[in-house]
Structure 1
Amino acid sequence: MNTRRIIVAGSTGYLGTHIIKELQFRNADFEAITRNEIKLQAFGLKPQQIITAEVTQPATLNGVLQGADVLISTVGITRQKDGATYMDVDYQANMNLLIEAKKAGIKKFIYISAINGEQMQHLKIMAAKEKFVNALKNWGGDYCIIRPNGFFSDMKDFLEMARKGRVYLFGNGEFKLNPIHGADLAKVVVDAAYSNQKEIEVGGPDILTQNEIAKLALKAWKNPVKITHIPNYLRKMLIGFLRAFTSQKTYGPYEFFLTMMAQDNIAPRYGIHRIESFFEKEVDQLSKMN
Protein backbone atom coordinates (compact mmCIF):
# COMPACT_ATOMS: atom_id res chain seq x y z
CA MET A 1 0.00 0.00 0.00
CA ASN A 2 1.43 3.34 -1.03
CA THR A 3 1.86 5.93 1.69
CA ARG A 4 -0.59 8.77 1.23
CA ARG A 5 -1.22 11.75 3.48
CA ILE A 6 -4.93 11.91 4.20
CA ILE A 7 -7.08 14.72 5.62
CA VAL A 8 -10.56 13.98 7.02
CA ALA A 9 -13.33 16.60 7.08
CA GLY A 10 -16.38 15.86 9.20
CA SER A 11 -14.12 13.96 11.56
CA THR A 12 -16.26 14.14 14.70
CA GLY A 13 -19.53 12.84 13.23
CA TYR A 14 -20.73 9.24 13.37
CA LEU A 15 -18.83 8.05 10.31
CA GLY A 16 -15.94 10.47 10.77
CA THR A 17 -15.05 9.02 14.17
CA HIS A 18 -14.96 5.52 12.71
CA ILE A 19 -12.73 6.70 9.86
CA ILE A 20 -10.34 8.24 12.40
CA LYS A 21 -10.21 4.93 14.31
CA GLU A 22 -9.55 3.01 11.08
CA LEU A 23 -6.73 5.37 10.09
CA GLN A 24 -5.21 5.02 13.55
CA PHE A 25 -5.47 1.22 13.31
CA ARG A 26 -3.58 1.32 10.00
CA ASN A 27 -0.96 3.76 11.35
CA ALA A 28 -1.82 6.04 8.44
CA ASP A 29 -0.41 9.50 7.91
CA PHE A 30 -3.45 11.68 8.48
CA GLU A 31 -4.90 14.88 9.89
CA ALA A 32 -8.46 15.83 10.79
CA ILE A 33 -10.41 19.06 10.39
CA THR A 34 -12.64 20.02 13.31
CA ARG A 35 -14.32 22.90 15.10
CA ASN A 36 -13.83 21.10 18.39
CA GLU A 37 -10.24 20.12 19.20
CA ILE A 38 -11.27 18.52 22.50
CA LYS A 39 -13.23 15.73 20.74
CA LEU A 40 -10.25 14.75 18.60
CA GLN A 41 -7.84 14.97 21.53
CA ALA A 42 -10.11 12.47 23.29
CA PHE A 43 -9.51 10.08 20.38
CA GLY A 44 -5.78 10.33 21.01
CA LEU A 45 -4.85 12.61 18.12
CA LYS A 46 -1.67 14.62 18.53
CA PRO A 47 -1.81 18.42 18.20
CA GLN A 48 -0.09 18.27 14.81
CA GLN A 49 -2.85 15.98 13.53
CA ILE A 50 -5.63 18.44 14.33
CA ILE A 51 -6.65 21.23 11.95
CA THR A 52 -9.02 23.74 13.54
CA ALA A 53 -11.30 25.21 10.87
CA GLU A 54 -14.96 25.77 10.02
CA VAL A 55 -15.86 24.24 6.66
CA THR A 56 -18.75 26.66 6.15
CA GLN A 57 -16.30 29.57 6.41
CA PRO A 58 -13.83 29.30 3.50
CA ALA A 59 -11.36 31.80 4.98
CA THR A 60 -10.61 29.38 7.83
CA LEU A 61 -9.63 26.68 5.30
CA ASN A 62 -7.00 28.77 3.57
CA GLY A 63 -3.81 26.72 3.23
CA VAL A 64 -4.85 23.90 5.58
CA LEU A 65 -4.79 21.20 2.88
CA GLN A 66 -1.26 21.90 1.66
CA GLY A 67 0.91 18.80 1.33
CA ALA A 68 -1.94 16.29 1.50
CA ASP A 69 -2.73 13.69 -1.17
CA VAL A 70 -6.28 12.66 -0.29
CA LEU A 71 -9.23 14.53 1.20
CA ILE A 72 -12.11 12.52 2.71
CA SER A 73 -15.32 14.45 3.37
CA THR A 74 -18.21 13.15 5.44
CA VAL A 75 -19.51 16.72 5.81
CA GLY A 76 -23.30 16.92 5.79
CA ILE A 77 -26.37 17.36 7.94
CA THR A 78 -28.69 14.54 8.89
CA ARG A 79 -30.66 16.06 11.74
CA GLN A 80 -30.33 19.82 11.68
CA LYS A 81 -29.59 21.58 14.95
CA ASP A 82 -28.93 25.14 13.84
CA GLY A 83 -30.00 27.55 11.13
CA ALA A 84 -27.80 26.04 8.39
CA THR A 85 -29.54 24.55 5.35
CA TYR A 86 -28.59 21.50 3.32
CA MET A 87 -27.31 23.79 0.57
CA ASP A 88 -25.17 25.61 3.16
CA VAL A 89 -23.51 22.42 4.39
CA ASP A 90 -23.99 19.40 2.12
CA TYR A 91 -23.28 21.51 -0.96
CA GLN A 92 -21.49 24.76 -0.16
CA ALA A 93 -19.26 23.55 2.68
CA ASN A 94 -18.06 20.71 0.48
CA MET A 95 -17.54 23.18 -2.37
CA ASN A 96 -15.37 25.23 -0.01
CA LEU A 97 -13.29 22.12 0.58
CA LEU A 98 -13.15 21.31 -3.13
CA ILE A 99 -11.96 24.82 -4.03
CA GLU A 100 -9.25 24.60 -1.37
CA ALA A 101 -8.33 21.07 -2.56
CA LYS A 102 -7.70 22.43 -6.06
CA LYS A 103 -5.45 25.16 -4.66
CA ALA A 104 -3.52 22.65 -2.55
CA GLY A 105 -3.01 20.14 -5.35
CA ILE A 106 -4.97 17.37 -3.64
CA LYS A 107 -4.80 14.26 -5.82
CA LYS A 108 -8.05 12.59 -4.75
CA PHE A 109 -11.32 13.72 -3.15
CA ILE A 110 -13.51 11.06 -1.50
CA TYR A 111 -17.09 12.08 -0.75
CA ILE A 112 -19.77 10.15 1.12
CA SER A 113 -23.24 10.63 -0.35
CA ALA A 114 -26.15 8.15 -0.11
CA ILE A 115 -27.58 5.22 -2.01
CA ASN A 116 -30.02 6.04 -4.82
CA GLY A 117 -29.13 9.71 -4.55
CA GLU A 118 -29.53 10.34 -8.25
CA GLN A 119 -33.16 9.16 -8.10
CA MET A 120 -34.04 11.24 -5.04
CA GLN A 121 -32.96 14.74 -6.01
CA HIS A 122 -36.50 15.98 -5.31
CA LEU A 123 -35.60 15.71 -1.61
CA LYS A 124 -33.87 18.75 -0.10
CA ILE A 125 -30.98 16.78 1.38
CA MET A 126 -30.31 14.80 -1.80
CA ALA A 127 -30.61 17.86 -4.05
CA ALA A 128 -27.70 19.41 -2.12
CA LYS A 129 -25.62 16.21 -2.03
CA GLU A 130 -26.07 15.45 -5.72
CA LYS A 131 -25.32 19.03 -6.71
CA PHE A 132 -21.95 18.58 -5.05
CA VAL A 133 -21.50 15.12 -6.59
CA ASN A 134 -21.90 16.69 -10.04
CA ALA A 135 -19.34 19.39 -9.19
CA LEU A 136 -16.93 16.76 -7.91
CA LYS A 137 -17.23 14.69 -11.08
CA ASN A 138 -16.21 17.74 -13.09
CA TRP A 139 -13.41 19.09 -10.88
CA GLY A 140 -10.63 17.64 -13.02
CA GLY A 141 -8.97 15.55 -10.32
CA ASP A 142 -9.41 11.98 -9.14
CA TYR A 143 -12.48 11.29 -7.03
CA CYS A 144 -14.55 8.55 -5.43
CA ILE A 145 -18.21 8.86 -4.45
CA ILE A 146 -19.29 6.38 -1.79
CA ARG A 147 -22.99 5.58 -1.47
CA PRO A 148 -23.74 3.71 1.77
CA ASN A 149 -27.11 2.14 2.38
CA GLY A 150 -27.90 3.85 5.66
CA PHE A 151 -25.95 3.63 8.92
CA PHE A 152 -26.65 1.43 11.92
CA SER A 153 -27.06 4.68 13.84
CA ASP A 154 -30.08 5.50 11.65
CA MET A 155 -31.73 2.32 12.93
CA LYS A 156 -31.92 3.73 16.45
CA ASP A 157 -35.40 5.03 15.58
CA PHE A 158 -36.54 1.39 15.54
CA LEU A 159 -34.89 0.84 18.88
CA GLU A 160 -36.50 3.90 20.44
CA MET A 161 -39.97 2.75 19.38
CA ALA A 162 -39.23 -0.79 20.56
CA ARG A 163 -38.21 0.55 23.96
CA LYS A 164 -41.80 1.77 24.39
CA GLY A 165 -43.12 -1.64 23.40
CA ARG A 166 -44.38 -1.13 19.84
CA VAL A 167 -42.85 -0.35 16.45
CA TYR A 168 -44.82 1.62 13.87
CA LEU A 169 -44.18 1.03 10.17
CA PHE A 170 -45.73 2.54 7.06
CA GLY A 171 -47.14 0.06 4.57
CA ASN A 172 -46.68 -3.69 5.05
CA GLY A 173 -43.10 -3.45 6.35
CA GLU A 174 -41.73 -5.72 3.63
CA PHE A 175 -39.34 -3.27 1.98
CA LYS A 176 -35.77 -4.47 2.37
CA LEU A 177 -32.53 -2.75 3.32
CA ASN A 178 -29.04 -3.63 4.50
CA PRO A 179 -27.66 -0.77 6.62
CA ILE A 180 -23.94 -0.78 7.42
CA HIS A 181 -22.00 -0.26 10.64
CA GLY A 182 -19.71 2.78 10.72
CA ALA A 183 -16.66 0.62 11.41
CA ASP A 184 -17.28 -1.49 8.30
CA LEU A 185 -17.99 1.57 6.16
CA ALA A 186 -14.81 3.24 7.41
CA LYS A 187 -12.77 0.37 5.96
CA VAL A 188 -14.42 0.91 2.57
CA VAL A 189 -13.73 4.66 2.74
CA VAL A 190 -10.06 4.28 3.65
CA ASP A 191 -9.56 1.53 1.05
CA ALA A 192 -10.94 3.95 -1.55
CA ALA A 193 -7.93 6.21 -0.97
CA TYR A 194 -5.80 3.54 -2.64
CA SER A 195 -8.18 2.24 -5.33
CA ASN A 196 -9.26 3.42 -8.76
CA GLN A 197 -13.00 3.10 -8.19
CA LYS A 198 -15.05 6.21 -8.98
CA GLU A 199 -18.30 5.18 -7.33
CA ILE A 200 -19.01 2.58 -4.64
CA GLU A 201 -22.40 1.41 -3.39
CA VAL A 202 -22.13 -0.49 -0.13
CA GLY A 203 -24.35 -1.95 2.56
CA GLY A 204 -24.07 -4.26 5.54
CA PRO A 205 -23.98 -8.07 5.51
CA ASP A 206 -27.67 -8.64 6.35
CA ILE A 207 -30.53 -7.83 3.97
CA LEU A 208 -33.62 -7.49 6.16
CA THR A 209 -37.21 -6.34 5.83
CA GLN A 210 -38.40 -3.50 8.02
CA ASN A 211 -40.53 -6.04 9.89
CA GLU A 212 -37.43 -8.12 10.62
CA ILE A 213 -35.52 -5.08 11.89
CA ALA A 214 -38.49 -4.14 14.08
CA LYS A 215 -38.57 -7.67 15.55
CA LEU A 216 -34.85 -7.53 16.32
CA ALA A 217 -35.30 -4.16 18.04
CA LEU A 218 -38.17 -5.49 20.17
CA LYS A 219 -36.18 -8.64 20.95
CA ALA A 220 -33.23 -6.53 22.13
CA TRP A 221 -35.53 -4.91 24.71
CA LYS A 222 -37.03 -8.36 25.51
CA ASN A 223 -40.44 -7.03 24.51
CA PRO A 224 -43.12 -9.07 22.73
CA VAL A 225 -43.51 -8.54 18.99
CA LYS A 226 -45.95 -5.66 18.55
CA ILE A 227 -45.80 -3.98 15.14
CA THR A 228 -48.44 -1.59 13.86
CA HIS A 229 -48.67 -1.05 10.10
CA ILE A 230 -49.86 2.41 9.09
CA PRO A 231 -51.45 2.88 5.64
CA ASN A 232 -48.99 4.30 3.11
CA TYR A 233 -51.30 7.16 2.12
CA LEU A 234 -50.85 8.58 5.62
CA ARG A 235 -47.07 8.64 5.05
CA LYS A 236 -47.61 10.70 1.90
CA MET A 237 -50.04 13.01 3.70
CA LEU A 238 -47.54 13.49 6.52
CA ILE A 239 -44.76 14.48 4.09
CA GLY A 240 -47.11 16.93 2.37
CA PHE A 241 -48.22 18.41 5.69
CA LEU A 242 -44.63 18.85 6.91
CA ARG A 243 -43.58 20.51 3.64
CA ALA A 244 -46.54 22.90 3.78
CA PHE A 245 -46.49 23.89 7.43
CA THR A 246 -42.91 23.52 8.71
CA SER A 247 -39.51 24.85 7.74
CA GLN A 248 -36.91 22.90 5.77
CA LYS A 249 -34.99 22.57 9.02
CA THR A 250 -37.91 20.60 10.47
CA TYR A 251 -39.23 18.62 7.54
CA GLY A 252 -35.94 17.82 5.76
CA PRO A 253 -34.89 14.83 7.88
CA TYR A 254 -38.44 13.43 8.01
CA GLU A 255 -38.88 13.86 4.25
CA PHE A 256 -35.68 11.87 3.68
CA PHE A 257 -36.37 9.01 6.09
CA LEU A 258 -40.06 8.67 5.18
CA THR A 259 -39.08 8.43 1.52
CA MET A 260 -36.28 5.94 2.14
CA MET A 261 -38.63 3.71 4.14
CA ALA A 262 -41.07 3.45 1.22
CA GLN A 263 -38.70 1.59 -1.11
CA ASP A 264 -36.15 -1.20 -1.21
CA ASN A 265 -32.63 0.02 -0.49
CA ILE A 266 -30.26 -2.86 -1.17
CA ALA A 267 -26.54 -2.40 -1.81
CA PRO A 268 -23.67 -4.88 -2.29
CA ARG A 269 -23.10 -6.62 1.04
CA TYR A 270 -19.96 -5.92 3.05
CA GLY A 271 -18.67 -6.11 6.59
CA ILE A 272 -18.91 -8.23 9.69
CA HIS A 273 -21.11 -6.20 12.05
CA ARG A 274 -24.70 -7.41 12.49
CA ILE A 275 -27.67 -5.18 13.32
CA GLU A 276 -28.86 -7.67 15.97
CA SER A 277 -25.59 -7.35 17.91
CA PHE A 278 -25.67 -3.56 17.48
CA PHE A 279 -29.16 -3.39 18.99
CA GLU A 280 -28.15 -5.62 21.91
CA LYS A 281 -25.12 -3.45 22.69
CA GLU A 282 -27.17 -0.26 22.47
CA VAL A 283 -29.80 -1.63 24.85
CA ASP A 284 -27.09 -2.78 27.26
CA GLN A 285 -25.55 0.70 27.30
CA LEU A 286 -28.92 2.43 27.71
CA SER A 287 -29.88 0.05 30.52
CA LYS A 288 -26.66 0.83 32.40
CA MET A 289 -27.38 4.57 32.14
CA ASN A 290 -30.79 4.21 33.80
Structure 2
Amino acid sequence: MNTNTTNTSVLLAGATGYLGGYIAKELQIRKIETKILVRNLEKTAHLKSEHSTIFQVEVTQAESLKGLFKGVNTVISTVGITRQKDGLTYMQVDYQANKNLLDEAKRAGVRKFIYVSVLNGRLHRNLKMVEAKEAFVDELLQSGLDFTVVRPNGFFSDMKDFLDMAKKGRVYLFGSGEQKFNPIHGQDLAAACIDAIGSVKTEIGIGGPDILTHNEVAQMALLANGKPINIVRFPHAIRKFVLWCFRTFTSSKTYGPIEFFLTFMGDDAIAPRYGCHRLSTFFQQEMDVIQKADK
Protein backbone atom coordinates (compact mmCIF):
# COMPACT_ATOMS: atom_id res chain seq x y z
CA MET A 1 0.00 0.00 0.00
CA ASN A 2 1.39 3.39 -0.99
CA THR A 3 1.54 5.55 2.16
CA ASN A 4 2.84 8.77 0.61
CA THR A 5 0.84 11.70 2.01
CA THR A 6 3.15 14.53 0.98
CA ASN A 7 1.32 17.79 0.20
CA THR A 8 -1.95 16.30 1.40
CA SER A 9 -4.77 18.39 2.82
CA VAL A 10 -7.67 16.43 4.28
CA LEU A 11 -11.28 17.20 5.11
CA LEU A 12 -12.56 14.75 7.72
CA ALA A 13 -16.27 14.19 8.33
CA GLY A 14 -17.52 12.06 11.20
CA ALA A 15 -14.64 12.85 13.56
CA THR A 16 -16.66 12.63 16.78
CA GLY A 17 -17.44 8.94 16.23
CA TYR A 18 -15.33 5.98 17.37
CA LEU A 19 -13.31 5.62 14.18
CA GLY A 20 -13.33 9.31 13.28
CA GLY A 21 -11.60 10.22 16.51
CA TYR A 22 -8.76 7.81 15.78
CA ILE A 23 -8.43 9.14 12.23
CA ALA A 24 -8.19 12.72 13.53
CA LYS A 25 -5.45 11.66 15.95
CA GLU A 26 -3.53 9.80 13.23
CA LEU A 27 -3.73 12.82 10.93
CA GLN A 28 -2.33 14.91 13.77
CA ILE A 29 0.53 12.45 14.34
CA ARG A 30 1.41 12.58 10.64
CA LYS A 31 1.15 16.40 10.68
CA ILE A 32 -1.38 16.45 7.85
CA GLU A 33 -3.34 19.68 7.50
CA THR A 34 -6.96 18.83 8.26
CA LYS A 35 -10.37 20.46 8.22
CA ILE A 36 -12.65 18.67 10.67
CA LEU A 37 -16.44 18.89 10.27
CA VAL A 38 -18.57 18.32 13.38
CA ARG A 39 -22.14 18.89 14.51
CA ASN A 40 -21.39 19.41 18.18
CA LEU A 41 -18.46 21.62 19.22
CA GLU A 42 -18.72 20.35 22.79
CA LYS A 43 -17.28 17.01 21.64
CA THR A 44 -14.18 18.43 19.95
CA ALA A 45 -11.67 19.06 22.75
CA HIS A 46 -9.68 15.93 21.87
CA LEU A 47 -9.67 16.84 18.16
CA LYS A 48 -7.87 20.16 18.42
CA SER A 49 -4.29 20.41 17.19
CA GLU A 50 -1.94 22.79 15.44
CA HIS A 51 -2.63 20.99 12.16
CA SER A 52 -6.44 21.00 12.34
CA THR A 53 -9.26 23.51 11.97
CA ILE A 54 -12.71 22.60 13.27
CA PHE A 55 -15.93 23.69 11.59
CA GLN A 56 -19.43 23.27 12.98
CA VAL A 57 -21.74 22.12 10.19
CA GLU A 58 -24.72 19.88 9.54
CA VAL A 59 -23.67 17.50 6.78
CA THR A 60 -27.29 16.60 6.03
CA GLN A 61 -27.74 20.22 4.89
CA ALA A 62 -25.72 20.78 1.72
CA GLU A 63 -25.64 24.58 2.03
CA SER A 64 -23.65 24.37 5.27
CA LEU A 65 -20.72 22.81 3.39
CA LYS A 66 -20.20 25.54 0.81
CA GLY A 67 -16.69 26.96 0.69
CA LEU A 68 -15.21 24.54 3.22
CA PHE A 69 -13.52 22.30 0.64
CA LYS A 70 -11.23 25.00 -0.75
CA GLY A 71 -7.62 23.82 -0.71
CA VAL A 72 -8.60 20.24 0.15
CA ASN A 73 -7.38 17.38 -2.02
CA THR A 74 -8.71 14.41 0.00
CA VAL A 75 -12.00 13.82 1.80
CA ILE A 76 -12.34 11.08 4.42
CA SER A 77 -15.86 10.27 5.58
CA THR A 78 -16.94 7.99 8.39
CA VAL A 79 -20.39 9.59 8.48
CA GLY A 80 -23.14 7.11 9.25
CA ILE A 81 -25.76 6.15 11.80
CA THR A 82 -24.80 3.50 14.31
CA ARG A 83 -26.80 3.93 17.51
CA GLN A 84 -27.76 7.58 17.20
CA LYS A 85 -31.23 8.60 18.29
CA ASP A 86 -31.73 11.94 16.58
CA GLY A 87 -34.69 11.02 14.39
CA LEU A 88 -32.76 10.92 11.11
CA THR A 89 -32.99 7.95 8.74
CA TYR A 90 -30.20 5.88 7.21
CA MET A 91 -30.94 7.38 3.81
CA GLN A 92 -30.71 10.90 5.23
CA VAL A 93 -27.33 10.28 6.86
CA ASP A 94 -25.47 7.32 5.35
CA TYR A 95 -26.57 8.21 1.84
CA GLN A 96 -27.62 11.85 1.54
CA ALA A 97 -25.13 13.41 3.95
CA ASN A 98 -22.27 11.62 2.21
CA LYS A 99 -23.66 12.59 -1.18
CA ASN A 100 -23.65 16.22 -0.01
CA LEU A 101 -19.97 15.82 0.84
CA LEU A 102 -19.28 14.19 -2.51
CA ASP A 103 -21.12 16.87 -4.49
CA GLU A 104 -19.22 19.67 -2.74
CA ALA A 105 -15.94 17.79 -3.21
CA LYS A 106 -16.57 17.57 -6.95
CA ARG A 107 -17.36 21.27 -7.17
CA ALA A 108 -14.17 22.14 -5.28
CA GLY A 109 -11.92 19.95 -7.43
CA VAL A 110 -11.03 17.48 -4.66
CA ARG A 111 -8.80 14.69 -5.97
CA LYS A 112 -9.81 11.73 -3.80
CA PHE A 113 -12.69 10.55 -1.62
CA ILE A 114 -12.20 7.85 1.04
CA TYR A 115 -15.37 6.34 2.45
CA VAL A 116 -15.74 3.80 5.25
CA SER A 117 -18.52 1.28 4.60
CA VAL A 118 -18.81 -2.32 5.89
CA LEU A 119 -17.31 -5.66 5.00
CA ASN A 120 -19.33 -7.62 2.43
CA GLY A 121 -21.65 -4.65 1.98
CA ARG A 122 -22.73 -5.69 -1.50
CA LEU A 123 -23.91 -9.05 -0.17
CA HIS A 124 -26.06 -7.41 2.49
CA ARG A 125 -27.78 -4.57 0.67
CA ASN A 126 -31.09 -5.86 2.00
CA LEU A 127 -30.15 -4.67 5.51
CA LYS A 128 -31.34 -1.17 6.41
CA MET A 129 -27.95 -0.15 7.83
CA VAL A 130 -26.19 -1.31 4.67
CA GLU A 131 -28.68 -0.30 1.97
CA ALA A 132 -27.95 3.42 2.29
CA LYS A 133 -24.18 2.91 2.55
CA GLU A 134 -24.10 0.91 -0.66
CA ALA A 135 -26.32 3.45 -2.41
CA PHE A 136 -23.61 5.99 -1.67
CA VAL A 137 -20.91 3.62 -2.92
CA ASP A 138 -22.87 3.57 -6.20
CA GLU A 139 -22.56 7.37 -6.30
CA LEU A 140 -18.81 7.14 -5.78
CA LEU A 141 -18.51 4.71 -8.68
CA GLN A 142 -20.15 7.26 -10.98
CA SER A 143 -18.48 10.36 -9.53
CA GLY A 144 -15.38 10.56 -11.72
CA LEU A 145 -13.22 11.10 -8.61
CA ASP A 146 -10.47 8.83 -7.42
CA PHE A 147 -11.88 6.95 -4.46
CA THR A 148 -11.29 4.14 -2.02
CA VAL A 149 -14.04 2.34 -0.16
CA VAL A 150 -12.63 0.93 3.07
CA ARG A 151 -14.59 -2.11 4.24
CA PRO A 152 -13.74 -3.03 7.82
CA ASN A 153 -14.84 -5.99 9.83
CA GLY A 154 -16.45 -5.31 13.24
CA PHE A 155 -14.91 -2.59 15.41
CA PHE A 156 -13.45 -3.36 18.80
CA SER A 157 -15.96 -0.88 20.22
CA ASP A 158 -18.78 -3.13 18.97
CA MET A 159 -17.28 -6.01 20.95
CA LYS A 160 -18.29 -4.26 24.17
CA ASP A 161 -21.63 -6.00 23.71
CA PHE A 162 -19.85 -9.23 24.65
CA LEU A 163 -18.41 -7.55 27.75
CA ASP A 164 -21.84 -6.26 28.73
CA MET A 165 -23.30 -9.76 28.51
CA ALA A 166 -20.33 -11.27 30.33
CA LYS A 167 -20.72 -8.77 33.17
CA LYS A 168 -24.02 -10.51 33.98
CA GLY A 169 -22.25 -13.88 34.00
CA ARG A 170 -23.49 -15.29 30.71
CA VAL A 171 -22.90 -14.76 26.98
CA TYR A 172 -25.51 -15.67 24.36
CA LEU A 173 -24.50 -16.93 20.91
CA PHE A 174 -26.19 -18.51 17.91
CA GLY A 175 -25.50 -21.87 16.31
CA SER A 176 -22.32 -23.63 17.29
CA GLY A 177 -20.49 -20.38 18.06
CA GLU A 178 -17.74 -21.43 15.69
CA GLN A 179 -18.42 -18.63 13.19
CA LYS A 180 -15.16 -16.77 12.56
CA PHE A 181 -14.36 -13.09 12.25
CA ASN A 182 -11.49 -10.68 12.90
CA PRO A 183 -12.63 -7.37 14.39
CA ILE A 184 -10.26 -4.42 14.19
CA HIS A 185 -9.17 -1.70 16.61
CA GLY A 186 -9.98 1.89 15.64
CA GLN A 187 -6.33 2.93 15.78
CA ASP A 188 -5.27 0.26 13.30
CA LEU A 189 -8.18 1.06 10.99
CA ALA A 190 -7.44 4.78 11.14
CA ALA A 191 -3.88 4.17 9.97
CA ALA A 192 -5.19 2.10 7.06
CA CYS A 193 -7.67 4.83 6.08
CA ILE A 194 -4.91 7.42 5.88
CA ASP A 195 -2.61 5.02 4.04
CA ALA A 196 -5.43 4.71 1.48
CA ILE A 197 -4.80 8.33 0.44
CA GLY A 198 -1.88 7.10 -1.65
CA SER A 199 -3.46 3.81 -2.70
CA VAL A 200 -4.70 3.05 -6.21
CA LYS A 201 -7.17 0.48 -4.86
CA THR A 202 -10.84 1.38 -5.13
CA GLU A 203 -11.79 -1.05 -2.39
CA ILE A 204 -9.96 -2.34 0.68
CA GLY A 205 -11.33 -5.10 2.91
CA ILE A 206 -9.70 -5.05 6.32
CA GLY A 207 -9.84 -6.77 9.69
CA GLY A 208 -7.73 -7.19 12.79
CA PRO A 209 -4.72 -9.48 13.19
CA ASP A 210 -6.55 -12.30 15.00
CA ILE A 211 -9.22 -14.51 13.44
CA LEU A 212 -11.48 -15.58 16.31
CA THR A 213 -14.61 -17.67 16.77
CA HIS A 214 -17.61 -16.24 18.58
CA ASN A 215 -16.92 -18.82 21.30
CA GLU A 216 -13.40 -17.50 21.78
CA VAL A 217 -14.60 -13.90 22.03
CA ALA A 218 -17.26 -14.94 24.55
CA GLN A 219 -14.63 -16.72 26.64
CA MET A 220 -12.35 -13.66 26.52
CA ALA A 221 -15.19 -11.43 27.68
CA LEU A 222 -16.12 -13.72 30.57
CA LEU A 223 -12.51 -14.09 31.71
CA ALA A 224 -11.98 -10.33 31.54
CA ASN A 225 -14.98 -9.96 33.86
CA GLY A 226 -13.63 -12.62 36.19
CA LYS A 227 -16.60 -14.88 35.46
CA PRO A 228 -16.68 -18.65 34.86
CA ILE A 229 -17.20 -19.78 31.28
CA ASN A 230 -20.97 -19.77 30.75
CA ILE A 231 -22.07 -19.63 27.12
CA VAL A 232 -25.65 -20.23 26.01
CA ARG A 233 -26.10 -21.14 22.35
CA PHE A 234 -29.41 -20.70 20.57
CA PRO A 235 -30.23 -22.40 17.26
CA HIS A 236 -30.16 -20.21 14.16
CA ALA A 237 -33.91 -20.75 13.78
CA ILE A 238 -34.43 -18.57 16.86
CA ARG A 239 -32.08 -15.90 15.47
CA LYS A 240 -34.09 -15.83 12.25
CA PHE A 241 -37.38 -15.69 14.14
CA VAL A 242 -36.18 -12.76 16.24
CA LEU A 243 -35.11 -11.02 13.03
CA TRP A 244 -38.56 -11.55 11.53
CA CYS A 245 -40.27 -10.20 14.64
CA PHE A 246 -38.23 -7.01 14.71
CA ARG A 247 -38.65 -6.41 10.98
CA THR A 248 -42.39 -7.01 11.22
CA PHE A 249 -43.33 -5.17 14.40
CA THR A 250 -40.81 -2.32 14.79
CA SER A 251 -39.58 0.61 12.69
CA SER A 252 -36.31 0.52 10.76
CA LYS A 253 -34.87 2.93 13.32
CA THR A 254 -35.41 0.25 15.97
CA TYR A 255 -34.64 -2.89 14.04
CA GLY A 256 -31.78 -1.57 11.89
CA PRO A 257 -28.92 -2.12 14.38
CA ILE A 258 -30.47 -5.38 15.63
CA GLU A 259 -30.93 -6.66 12.07
CA PHE A 260 -27.30 -5.84 11.29
CA PHE A 261 -25.98 -7.50 14.45
CA LEU A 262 -28.07 -10.66 14.17
CA THR A 263 -27.27 -11.10 10.47
CA PHE A 264 -23.54 -10.88 10.97
CA MET A 265 -23.74 -13.21 14.00
CA GLY A 266 -24.88 -15.93 11.63
CA ASP A 267 -21.95 -16.12 9.21
CA ASP A 268 -18.18 -16.06 8.98
CA ALA A 269 -16.80 -12.57 8.33
CA ILE A 270 -13.09 -12.79 7.66
CA ALA A 271 -11.16 -9.89 6.13
CA PRO A 272 -7.47 -9.49 5.25
CA ARG A 273 -5.55 -9.15 8.52
CA TYR A 274 -4.02 -5.83 9.50
CA GLY A 275 -2.70 -4.05 12.58
CA CYS A 276 -1.30 -5.10 15.92
CA HIS A 277 -4.03 -4.56 18.53
CA ARG A 278 -5.42 -7.67 20.21
CA LEU A 279 -9.02 -7.99 21.35
CA SER A 280 -8.04 -9.70 24.62
CA THR A 281 -5.90 -6.67 25.52
CA PHE A 282 -8.73 -4.31 24.59
CA PHE A 283 -11.15 -6.21 26.84
CA GLN A 284 -8.74 -6.02 29.76
CA GLN A 285 -8.17 -2.30 29.22
CA GLU A 286 -11.92 -1.71 29.15
CA MET A 287 -12.34 -3.60 32.40
CA ASP A 288 -9.53 -1.60 34.01
CA VAL A 289 -11.34 1.61 33.08
CA ILE A 290 -14.63 0.29 34.52
CA GLN A 291 -12.97 -0.83 37.74
CA LYS A 292 -11.26 2.53 38.24
CA ALA A 293 -14.55 4.34 37.65
CA ASP A 294 -16.27 2.16 40.26
CA LYS A 295 -13.71 3.02 42.95
TM over 0.5, yes or no? Answer: yes
* Structure 2 portions without partners, runs of 5+: none
- Partners of 1:45 and 1:247 lie apart in 2 by 41
Residue 140 in 1 paired to residue 150 in 2? Answer: no
Other-structure match for 2:265: 261
Over 4 Å off, 4+ runs:
none
1:248 paired with 2:252, answer yes
| Residue of structure 2 in register with 1:105 after alignment | 109
Q: Per-residue deviation at 1:45?
A: 3.1
Residues 63 and 216 (structure 1), Cα distance of their counterparts in 2 relative to 1, 3 Å cut: same
- List aligned pairs for 1:1-290, cutoff 5 A: 1=4, 2-45=6-49, 49-290=53-294
CA-to-partner distance for each residue in 1:170-221, whole Å, 9 max, x for gaps?
1110100000000000000000112211110000000000000000000101
| Counterpart Cα distance in 1 of 2:223 and 2:125 | 36
Amino acid at match of 2:197: A
SS of 1:266's partner is coil
1:111/1:144 contact within 8 Å kept: yes
Helix, strand or coil: the match of 2:80? coil
* Alpha-carbon separation, structure 1, partners of 2:49 and 2:79: 20
Distance 1:20 1:8 in 2: 8
Question: What is the alpha-carbon distance in structure 1 between the residues aligned to residue 47 and residue 140 of structure 2?
Answer: 30
What is the alpha-carbon distance in structure 1 between the residues aligned to residue 253 and residue 219 of structure 2? 31
Amino acid at match of 2:198: Y
Q: Answer whether contact 2:182 2:210 (CA < 8 A) is retained.
A: yes
Q: Distance in 2 between matches of 1:238 and 1:92?
A: 30
Share of identical aligned residues, percent? Answer: 54
SS of the aligned residue for 2:198 comes to coil
What amino acid sits opposite 1:255 in the alignment?
Answer: E
The number of residues matched between the two structures is 290
Q: Secondary structure at the match of 1:193?
A: helix
Q: Equivalents in 2 of 1:119, 1:48: separation in Å?
A: 37
Q: How much does 1:46 deviate?
A: 5.2
Q: Distance in 1 between matches of 2:205 and 2:184?
A: 11
Alpha-carbon deviation of 1:34? Answer: 0.6
Q: Deviations over 1:83-125 (max 9, x none)?
A: 1111110001000101111111110000000000000001011
State how far apart, in whole Å, the 2-side matches of 1:222 and 1:274 are.
Answer: 19
* Residue pair 1:80, 1:249 contacting (<8 A) in 2 also: no
Deviation at 1:43, TM superposition (A): 3.0
Relative to the length of structure 1, the TM-score reads 0.98
SS of the residue corresponding to residue 33 of structure 1 reads: strand
- Aligned-partner Cα distance in 2 for 1:9–1:80: 16
Give, in angstroms, the shift of residue 246 of structure 1: 0.7
CA contact (8 A) 1:72 1:110 kept: yes
Q: 1:28 Cα shift? A: 1.0
